[in-house]
Structure 1
Amino acid sequence: MKVAVVGIGLIGGSMALDIKAVFENVEIIGIDKNEKNAQKAKDLQLIDAIAQLEDLKQAEVVIVSVPVDVSLQVLAQVLDHVGENTLVLDTGSTKEKICESVKNHPKRRNYLAAHPIAGTEFSGPEAAIPNLYRNKTMIVCEVEKTAFKLQEIAFEIFQRLGMRIRYMDPHSHDKHIAYVSHLSHISSFMLGKTVLEKEKNEKDIFDLAGSGFASTVRLAKSSPAMWAPIFQQNKENVLETLKEYIQNLNEFKNLMEQDNFEQVYKEMANTNHIKNVLNGIN
């Protein structure tokens, strides 16, 4: 099987590693506009060869793992170059605008809209790790618009990688992911900003930072080049989640100002229920 990865960073590189591990006789070619990234991916043996868009016609599977703003242009270009029986899937964290961008493409049936719920705060080819996708969820959108024989290829890949499959429409995907992913990243970035601004005046503040701070601010190390376009594409849903989040923060602040710590306790106790929800997911 010949697989092409367009955008060889954490997501694409990790998928390349795992596909190599679970399929025999796999050749993986890589395309990246950053020549240094492409060479690094080859040096790390994430890919077997550096390729160009013209080489996609020979691939059986193409994985597009670029920032979502880039996907709006690149995905159509990829579909222009692939063969009639090539599966093309993307890994973007937004789906509605990406699906819209290729809805009238002559090779729309070659494309499967996907989003793996997996990742770390690191980026680039050197961030790729094995087993990133094991026991993770793959969201699939508009599956009915993908040729059935190509669906089968995709689902075999996902199954061998150890992933669970969940079907959603693009609008619902973007709405829900704004709450559980996009808002988390904004919270982390803004917590990091708040502490960095305080640190200008209080140099020893990071001496007091423990594991709780480290885990909460971890996502602030994520790539702005990836996340700013996500916020832009999902602006409406992100603004809705921010409005609700800010309202809850203000209510918590008001309770403290009113010395109503009995209600503060109740708010936290009620929210503790989330551990049961997350245990059910894991």
Structure 2
Amino acid sequence: MKHIYAIGVGLIGGSLAKDIKKHNPEVVIHGISRKDTTLNTALELGLIDRKATLDDIVNADLVIVSIPVDATVKLLPTILDKISDKGLVVDAGSTKEAICKAVENHPKRRNFLAMHPIAGTEHSGPTAAVEGLFIGKTNIVCEVEKTTFKLQEKALKLFSDIGMRMRYMNPVEHDRHIAYVSHLSHISAFMLGKTVIDKERNERDIFDMAGSGFASTVRLAKSSPEMWTPIFEQNKTNVIETLEEYINNLNHFKELMKDDNFEAIFNEMKNTNHIKDILNGIH
């Protein structure tokens, strides 16, 4: 793959561009964005080699779409209209069902690979791009059987070479599982931040007492609302289900507190400590 076009050169798109370029110096990275200032920054940072437009992707070997998921749903059919028969389009969206449905009947569906590299930080924009972001990270690939084999083979090798491991899943299951392990985490962080900010209006010293535990827990509340609101909208049903279960657990914990049942609270926390063994097994 010689010519790679990055539609969106923020945290994910920019980091992919950095790692791909590091492992494939001969590749030319073309950047596409609604904002020329974003492309100028990406050029200055060395994330891309050239600016481009949507019409240029007829020349692309690979197009990486890393924009908010609502924009992906709208733009993806147009991108596939423009891609050549030898080119491949991949997306990096955190939801997959709506994106896959948007192109399920497109005549060039075979030129699209749906994926979700599970990596990132709370930062956004080209300056957030970091080298090595995807080392050891899981890349969820959906409906791989609908993509031309030779094209998917090249792309998956490209992503494997920068350190990602592949996992295959259907879009519905992906969205259901990711609601628990990613989307709920972000909502929890946003609402924890909101709760503390609301309280801080009356108690100005509260942030003086905030330690590393609070900082690490609320870190995701710094994430981009422009990116996360469309994710919650597209995965609404699954997110509501996770929220209902989460709220039930919070209410249960509150009732144990009211009843002074701290033995039960101890046991709940002790049992939940098992999550460290699960995560160690995964990572």
> Which bracket does the TM-score occupy, shorter chain normalised?
over 0.9
2:145 is the alignment partner of 1:147: no
Correspondence for 2:64: 63
* Equivalent residue number for residue 239 of structure 2: 238
**3-state DSSP of counterpart to 2:263:** helix
Q: Secondary structure of the residue that 1:138 maps to in structure 2?
A: strand
1:264 and 1:222 mapped to 2: Cα distance?
A: 31
CA distance in 2, matches of 1:129, 1:252: 39
Counterpart in the other structure of 2:40: 39
Q: Which residue of 2 aligns with 1:201?
A: 202
Instruction: Give the 3-state SS of the residue equivalent to 2:5 in structure 1.
Output: strand
Give the corresponding residue for 1:281.
282
Output the CA distance in 1 between the equivalents of 2:251 and 2:238.
20
Q: Which residue of 1 aligns with 2:16?
A: 15
**Cα separation, 2, equivalents of 1:67 and 1:82:** 20
- Within 2, Cα distance between the matches of 1:210 and 1:259? 27
Letter of the 1:89 counterpart: V
Q: Which residue of 2 aligns with 1:119?
A: 120
Size of the aligned set, in residue pairs, is 282
Q: Write the distance in 1 (CA, Å) between the matches of 2:19 and 2:140.
A: 18
Match of 2:135? 134
Q: Aligned AA for 2:216?
A: S
User: How many angstroms apart in 1 are the aligned matches of 2:282 and 2:219?
Assistant: 21
Q: For structure 1, list consecutive stretches of 5 or more residues without a partner in the other structure.
A: none
1:9-32 deviation line (CA, Å, top 9, x unaligned) = 000000000000011311000000
- 1:192 is aligned to 193
Please report the TM-score for the alignment, with normalisation by the length of structure 2: 0.99
Query: What is the rounded CA distance, in whole Å, between the counterparts of 2:35 and 2:243 in structure 1?
Result: 34
Q: Distance in 2 between matches of 1:113 and 1:58?
A: 21
2:155 and 2:241 mapped to 1: Cα distance? 33
- Aligned partner of 2:88 in structure 1 is 87
Give the share of equivalent positions with the same residue, in percent.
Answer: 62
Whole-angstrom CA distance in 2 between matches of 1:86 and 1:41: 23
Superposed CA offset, 1:251-276 (max 9, x none): 00000000000000000000000000
Q: Does 1:222 align with 2:237?
A: no
> Which runs of 5 or more residues in structure 2 are unaligned?
none
Q: Distance in 2 between matches of 1:30 and 1:24?
A: 16
Shift of 1:159: 1.2
* Cα distance between partner residues in 2 of 1:154 and 1:134: 16
Instruction: Give the whole-Å Cα distance in 2 for the aligned partners of 1:238 and 1:150.
Output: 33
C-alpha deviation, 1:219, in angstroms: 0.1
RMSD (Å) for aligned C-alpha atoms: 0.5
3-state secondary structure, aligned to 2:22: helix
Query: What TM-score results when the alignment is normalised by the length of structure 1?
Result: 0.99
Taking the aligned partners of 1:279 and 1:179, their CA distance within structure 2 comes to 18
After superposition, residues 243-262 of structure 1 pair within 5 angstroms as 243-262=244-263
